[in-house]
Amino acid sequence: MGLANESSVTTPKGAGPRSMNEDREMEILRAAYELLADVGYEALRLDAVANRAKASKATIYRHWAGKAELVAAAVRSCSTVETHIPDTGSLRGDLLASVGHLASSIAGYDGPVFAALIMAMRNDPEFANQMRAMQVSKRPIIEAILGRAQARGELKPGCDAGLLEEIGPGLIFMHVFALGEPVDDAFVRHIVDDILLPLLTPCGCQ
Amino acid sequence: MGLANESSVTTPKGAGPRSMNEDREMEILRAAYELLADVGYEALRLDAVANRAKASKATIYRHWAGKAELVAAAVRSCSTVETHIPDTGSLRGDLLASVGHLASSIAGYDGPVFAALIMAMRNDPEFANQMRAMQVSKRPIIEAILGRAQARGELKPGCDAGLLEEIGPGLIFMHVFALGEPVDDAFVRHIVDDILLPLLTPCGCQ
Amino acid sequence: MGLANESSVTTPKGAGPRSMNEDREMEILRAAYELLADVGYEALRLDAVANRAKASKATIYRHWAGKAELVAAAVRSCSTVETHIPDTGSLRGDLLASVGHLASSIAGYDGPVFAALIMAMRNDPEFANQMRAMQVSKRPIIEAILGRAQARGELKPGCDAGLLEEIGPGLIFMHVFALGEPVDDAFVRHIVDDILLPLLTPCGCQ
Amino acid sequence: MGLANESSVTTPKGAGPRSMNEDREMEILRAAYELLADVGYEALRLDAVANRAKASKATIYRHWAGKAELVAAAVRSCSTVETHIPDTGSLRGDLLASVGHLASSIAGYDGPVFAALIMAMRNDPEFANQMRAMQVSKRPIIEAILGRAQARGELKPGCDAGLLEEIGPGLIFMHVFALGEPVDDAFVRHIVDDILLPLLTPCGCQ
DNA sequence: TCATAAGCGAGACGGTACGTCGTGTCTTACG
DNA sequence: CGTAAGACACGACGTACCGTCTCGCTTATGA
């Protein structure tokens, strides 16, 4: 029972009005992210963000330069893209899991958030790089999947890992944005079975 | 501070005010399109459009409901996408021509216009349909190319025409938007040689 | 206000939104003046003015540079000081009428408006001059009063008209501002009987 | 490197090694008063006061309720009005000294401070009373002057001491505020010779 | 040929969001 | 404990833009 000096405790008790500046940032980002998903970029009002976060506009502008930067940070911080390496035992299973997760992530940004990403990337090149890095961060996943497939002899020789990086997101993006259709399992299977597998595995004429 | 507005050349008489209303529409659309390419959707000011077209905001709003509709119409009218069916004598040549043209068109919307399209499509579903129809309008081109290839026996049996529709634009879009890289001939060849042809032609392992 | 309302010719809609720009100015000034009297200078919110005048802040700022200028113009336009020359047949009667009217005018600016005048005069030298000119405009009144009194032989020889200009306002101002007391008839009589008349008429000691 | 040299510590306290709070108050008031004279009431920022006094806003708000109270206290503490009873041997000399001192005091609050007083009095009735008490505190001076004059037989019978209280400040205030002119000796002589003395001394027609 | 009607350039206007700033409260760290 | 430092909520300010509206001018039509 160290009676002595527990002042080092950072008052984890939530009851009182805490006012650290590390938490506020995150709370504001969450508020921004949720409103973003609700109403989209254009209709996102900073007053509404401040109100929902019980923050003040001054605080927002103390941390971010404007709407675009706030949205960029919000998406960066609250986006649910995770880097999980699937291992289902087969190339097809891995691809289905990987593409499926990507699809649900992107489709989760359905509708309004998409425009937000575009705007945020356009107005914040640094955020654009971040987003692209997020994309690049999937590289190890892809290589792990392909590595195991190669070990199992499922892979066509000389196939490029970069292919997966491009095709999956491109098609999903196309589907959601240009076609405006939701991304469902059938579409994921279509990508995997009709496009990726034929490109990766030994000729389907087998 | 405020933008410089030095165009206050009153020209009480001088510039003869013509009174046709059919041309005005097009001039306004051109002004909107050019400004759109210059500054993007967000920074596009209807005052600036009116000023550049030497028109009045009232005239603009007499013809279109708002910014989104104006941009939609501008892109629709001024976009350079043409529907030309290439015939080079080989599947690869046709694909290179087709994808190359698509790439240069999309890449021509470099930077700002892309966001414009997103916003316009989001705010104007009818325009979104129009854009998607533009996409669909390429269907006959694709079918013509594949038809000739099939006649030449270049095609793998059972390949889907829909594939071309999805993959080309998706990859180009990905390249321009997500990666932020320009679309050059090498990339077009990459799409054709490494992705499209392997999917369309009998397996190269043969 | 009491102005002729000839605008009924235009706007056939009747209840429709009228939009002349000459009247708006006056309506805004009235709104500002009334709110000014209600809440004072500090508590005067331009939003409130805009709201009461059913105007927009942009319109206010298009016409005036800021709060001080708006208040200055409002006081200038809406102040009720009129230049009426009293003629009661006696010097005392004229003085009572003149000082009484001045007193009720100044006292009408009771409380809040006084601070407004100070601020407006400090922030708008041109308005300060206007206010001082308003003061000067009473000169003819004074001279008329004194002229008639002289003709009646009521006046002490060599008395200065400038005296009236200074003493009346100074005392009233002092009373309202520094003492914070209302200006009533007794005080007006005090000024006239105990100060002005002794200074103007042949010595009452006789 | 030197180890025990604690003199390099910033020690912003400077001259005050101990932490008394009686001096701080005065330093803050001085800072407020000086800034007040510099920039006026409206432009007086509490941050600036805190900064100049090397104090914290919290300290200020621990001692005073707000800007008005701070300014009131500052003027109360730092104002240079003194209560000195002149004795020149003649009524005219006493009046010249008394009015002259009052004039220089008021005129010393030239420009910005005047608005400050108005605002402070309006927002702090208690301060308004204080200011009026300051005015009232001159009563003994007036009575002393008049008493000596009466003893010398300079005074007209039945003249009111209250007259002096009202006329002097009223005229000076008028001069400075409404006319915007500086108060010089000539004006002081004008008040004394043309207004006060005629009202106080036996009729000049004698 | 002139008058009436309509379209247009110009721009003021109401409304609303933005981004800045100042006040007054509150928390942390220091002495 | 009292203080310096400064983050914070609240809210007003002044700016910018959108979409509506009215004016005055010009042009195209009908008698």
pLDDT in tens, D141-166: 888 999 999 999 999 887 778 888 88
Quote the pLDDT of residue C81: 66
CA gap A110, C196 in Å, rounded: 84
Q: In this predicted model, what pLDDT tens digit does every residue of C49-96 receive, in sequence order?
A: 999 999 999 999 999 999 999 999 998 888 776 667 889 999 999 999
Alpha helices in D40-90, H assignment, sequence order:
46-52, 57-63, 67-78
pLDDT score of D107 more than 70? yes
Size of interface A-B (CB pairs under 8 A): 94
pLDDT score of B3 more than 60? no
CA gap C162, C148 in Å, rounded: 16
pLDDT score of B10 more than 50? no
CA gap A11, A9 in Å, rounded: 5
Query: Are there at least 3 beta-carbon pairs closer than 8 Å between C and B?
Result: no
CA gap D84, C133 in Å, rounded: 37
Q: In this predicted model, what pLDDT tens digit does every residue of A118-160 receive, in sequence order?
A: 778 877 777 788 777 777 777 888 889 999 999 999 998 877 7
Average pLDDT of every residue of chain D: 81
Q: What percent of chain A stands above pLDDT 90? A: 41
Closest CA to C52 of C44, C42, C64: C44
Quote the pLDDT of residue A20: 52
Residues of B with CB below 8 A from A134's CB?
none
**Which residues of B lie closer than 8 Å to A, measured between beta carbons?**
40, 42, 111-112, 114-115, 118-119, 121-123, 128, 131-132, 135, 160, 163, 166-167, 169-171, 173-175, 177-180, 194-195, 198-199, 202-206
| Site of tokens 């995997």 | A192
Quote the pLDDT of residue C165: 82
Provide the whole-model pTM: 0.79
Q: Which of D118, D127, D129, D181 to mutate to test the interface with C (most CBs of C within 10 A)?
A: D118
The answer to whether residues D84 and D104 touch, using CB atoms and an 8 Å cutoff, is no
The alpha-carbon gap from C143 to the nearest alpha carbon of chain D, in Å, equals 18
pLDDT score of B11 more than 70? no
CA gap B117, C198 in Å, rounded: 87
CA dihedral B116, B122, B128, B132 (to 10 degrees): 80
Give kind and range of the element (H or E) at residue C123: helix C112-123
Based on its alpha-carbon atoms, the radius of gyration of chain D, rounded to whole angstroms, reads: 23
Residues of D with CB below 8 A from C156's CB?
205
The Å distance, CA of A58 to C1' of E20, is 8
Residues of A with CB below 8 A from B43's CB?
none
Name the residue with the least CA to C1' distance from nucleotide F28: B19
The Å distance, CA of B23 to C1' of F19, is 23
CA gap A25, A20 in Å, rounded: 9
Name the residue with the least CA to C1' distance from nucleotide E12: C21
**Which residues of D lie closer than 8 Å to C, measured between beta carbons?**
40, 42, 111-112, 114-115, 118-119, 121-123, 128, 131-132, 135, 156, 160, 163, 166-167, 169-171, 173-175, 177-180, 194-195, 198-199, 202-206
Higher pLDDT, B174 or C179: B174
Count the Cβ atoms, other than its own, within 10 Å of residue B36. Answer: 25
> Where residue C179 falls among pLDDT bands split at 50, 70, 90?
confident
pLDDT score of C6 more than 50? no
Task: Measure Cα distances from A134 to A81, A106, A140, D147 in Å.
Answer: 8, 12, 12, 93
Quote the pLDDT of residue C205: 47
Report the pLDDT averaged over residues B157-181.
81
Q: What percent of chain D stands above pLDDT 90? A: 36
Report the pLDDT averaged over residues A54-67.
94
In this complex, the residue of D169, D178, D180 whose CB is nearest that of residue C169 is: D178
CA gap B188, B138 in Å, rounded: 17
* A122 with B112: Cβ contact below 8 A: yes
Quote the pLDDT of residue C8: 36
Q: Which of D166, D173, D193 to mutate to test the interface with C (most CBs of C within 10 A)?
A: D166
Quote the pLDDT of residue B169: 85
pLDDT score of B8 more than 70? no
The answer to whether residues D139 and C135 touch, using CB atoms and an 8 Å cutoff, is no
The answer to whether residues A47 and A57 touch, using CB atoms and an 8 Å cutoff, is yes
The alpha-carbon gap from B8 to the nearest alpha carbon of chain A, in Å, equals 31
The alpha-carbon gap from A72 to the nearest alpha carbon of chain B, in Å, equals 15
**Opening angle at CA D158, ends D155 and D159, nearest 5:** 60
* B173 with A178: Cβ contact below 8 A: yes
Count the Cβ atoms, other than its own, within 10 Å of residue D159. Answer: 18
Name the nt closest to B45 by C-alpha to C1'.
F17
The Å distance, CA of A54 to C1' of F4, is 27
Report the pLDDT averaged over residues D42-54.
93
Quote the pLDDT of residue D157: 81
**Which residues of A lie closer than 8 Å to B, measured between beta carbons?**
40, 42, 111-112, 114-115, 118-119, 121-123, 128, 131-132, 135, 156, 160, 163, 166-167, 169-171, 173-175, 177-180, 194-195, 198-199, 202-205
Give me A5's structure tokens: 């000096």
The alpha-carbon gap from A35 to the nearest alpha carbon of chain B, in Å, equals 17
Give me C155's structure tokens: 């006046």
CA gap A201, C56 in Å, rounded: 67
pLDDT score of A95 more than 50? yes
CA gap C22, C12 in Å, rounded: 19
Alpha helices in chain C, H assignment, sequence order:
21-39, 46-52, 57-63, 67-78, 91-108, 112-123, 125-136, 139-151, 161-173, 185-189, 197-200
Please name the chains neighbouring A, where neighbouring means 3+ C-beta pairs under 8 angstroms: B
Q: Residue C16 is which amino acid?
A: G
Give me B11's structure tokens: 């020209």
Q: What spatial distance separates the first Cα and last Cα of chain D, rounded to whole Å?
A: 93
Give kind and range of the element (H or E) at residue A37: helix A21-39
> Where residue D21 falls among pLDDT bands split at 50, 70, 90?
low
The Å distance, CA of D115 to C1' of E29, is 39
CA gap A37, A41 in Å, rounded: 8
> Where residue B2 falls among pLDDT bands split at 50, 70, 90?
very low
Closest CA to A132 of D136, B72, B181: B181
Q: What share of chain C is helix, strand, coil (3-state, %, to 5)?
A: 65, 0, 35
* C42 with D199: Cβ contact below 8 A: no
| Site of tokens 């008031």 | D29
The alpha-carbon gap from D89 to the nearest alpha carbon of chain C, in Å, equals 25
pLDDT score of C2 more than 70? no
Closest CA to D70 of D78, D56, D60: D60
CA gap A182, A36 in Å, rounded: 19
Range with the largest mean pLDDT of A162-171, C140-149, D72-81: C140-149
Task: Measure Cα distances from A28 to A40, A59, A126, A182 in Å.
Answer: 16, 9, 20, 29
CA gap A59, C7 in Å, rounded: 49
CA pseudo-torsion sign C112, C113, C116, C117: negative
Average pLDDT of every residue of chain B: 81
In this complex, the residue of C115, C160, C198 whose CB is nearest that of residue D194 is: C160
CA gap D32, D13 in Å, rounded: 19
The Å distance, CA of B10 to C1' of E2, is 29
Q: Which of C166, C173, C181, C200 to mutate to test the interface with D (most CBs of D within 10 A)?
A: C166
> Where residue B79 falls among pLDDT bands split at 50, 70, 90?
confident
Report the pLDDT averaged over residues A191-200.
92
B80 three-class SS: coil
B194 three-class SS: helix
Q: Which of D119, D122, D195 to mutate to test the interface with C (most CBs of C within 10 A)?
A: D122
* B174 with A179: Cβ contact below 8 A: no
**Which residues of C lie closer than 8 Å to D, measured between beta carbons?**
40, 42, 111-112, 114-115, 118-119, 121-123, 128, 131-132, 135, 156, 160, 163, 166-167, 169-171, 173-175, 177-180, 194-195, 198-199, 202-206
Residue D108 CB contacts under 8 Å (≥ 6 apart), including other chains: D80
CA gap C90, C98 in Å, rounded: 12
Report the pLDDT averaged over residues A91-109.
87
Task: Measure Cα distances from A64 to A37, A58, A60 in Å.
Answer: 19, 10, 6
The alpha-carbon gap from C58 to the nearest alpha carbon of chain D, in Å, equals 23
Query: Are there at least 3 beta-carbon pairs closer than 8 Å between C and D?
Result: yes
Kindly give the interhelix angle for C67-78 and C112-123, rounded to the nearest 10 degrees: 120
Give me C201's structure tokens: 């008429």
